């Protein structure tokens, strides 16, 4: 089941669809909205520290700002391609866009400096390579707060889960959710 509130937000902002100016594919094709709702429902009203890697045209940035009204955001992308249609819905008083690869020690330091108290939710929607996914776990897991969620989207092969579970911290819960049929 998809989270209707997230979909309603994207519809309200007119950003529901990657082929739309400033839009995102979070609510269709992948059905990530139900997975987001599963992990974020209890954090919605909290002042959480949220990282998203790979924001493309900014549709998800706008969605998160509306869905998580007390969160502080750090977004990463290798280029600023945020479209005006999405930009106008992003709360820049709570958000920062860092233009660089997120998979470097320098970018990790940006997160460490921005979120002095750690990260509560990290969403990796970057280049979708096994190497980048392994790097995000190795680089950012130490910054995750107790009970925090590090979510990686678009894992290209079920075989990769073996590699990813091998680098997950021993005190973490590793869950693979297959959305290929949703």
Question: Residue 177's CB: how many other CB atoms inside 10 A?
Answer: 11
Measured CA to CA in angstroms, residue 162 lies from 35, 55, 153, 175 at distances of 21, 27, 16, 11
pTM listed for this prediction: 0.88
Look at residue 134 and tell me whether its pLDDT is greater than 80: yes
Closest C-alpha to 65, from 52, 83, 77, 81: 52
Please report the pLDDT score of residue 173 as a whole number: 74
- The third-level CATH classification (topology) of the domain covering 45-167 is Rossmann fold (3.40.50)
Contact (CB, 8 A) for 120 and 148: yes
Is-contact 94 73, C-beta < 8 A? yes
62 contacts 15 by C-beta, under 8 angstroms:
yes
Percent of the chain whose pLDDT exceeds 90? 53
Give yes or no for residue 29 having a pLDDT over 90: no
- In the predicted model, what is the mean pLDDT of residues 39-45? 92
Indicate the average pLDDT of the chain. 87
The yes-or-no verdict on residue 135 having pLDDT over 60 is yes
Task: List, as one string, the DSSP characters of 84-130.
Answer: HHHHTTS-TTSEEEEES-SSSHHHHHHHHHH-TT-EEEEEE-SS--H
For residues 62-81, b (16+ Cβ closer than 10 Å) or e, as one string? bbbbbbbeebbbbbbbeeee
């Amino acid at each position: 089941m998809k989270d209707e509130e997230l979909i309603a937000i994207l519809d309200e902002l007119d950003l529901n669809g990657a082929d739309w100016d400033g839009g995102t594919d979070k609510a269709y094709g992948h059905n990530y909205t139900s997975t987001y709702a599963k992990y974020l429902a209890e954090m919605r009203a909290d002042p959480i520290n949220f990282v998203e890697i790979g924001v493309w045209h900014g549709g998800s940035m706008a969605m998160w700002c509306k869905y998580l009204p007390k969160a502080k955001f750090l977004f990463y992308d290798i280029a600023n391609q945020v479209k005006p249609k999405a930009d106008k819905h992003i709360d820049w008083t709570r958000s920062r866009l860092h233009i660089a690869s997120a998979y470097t020690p320098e970018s990790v330091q940006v997160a460490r400096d921005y979120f002095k108290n750690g990260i509560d939710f990290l969403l990796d929607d970057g280049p979708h390579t096994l190497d980048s996914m392994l790097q995000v776990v190795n680089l950012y897991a130490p910054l995750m707060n107790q009970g925090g969620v590090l979510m990686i989207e678009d894992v290209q092969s079920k075989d990769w889960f073996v590699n990813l579970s091998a680098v997950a911290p021993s005190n973490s819960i590793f869950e693979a959710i297959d959305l290929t049929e949703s």
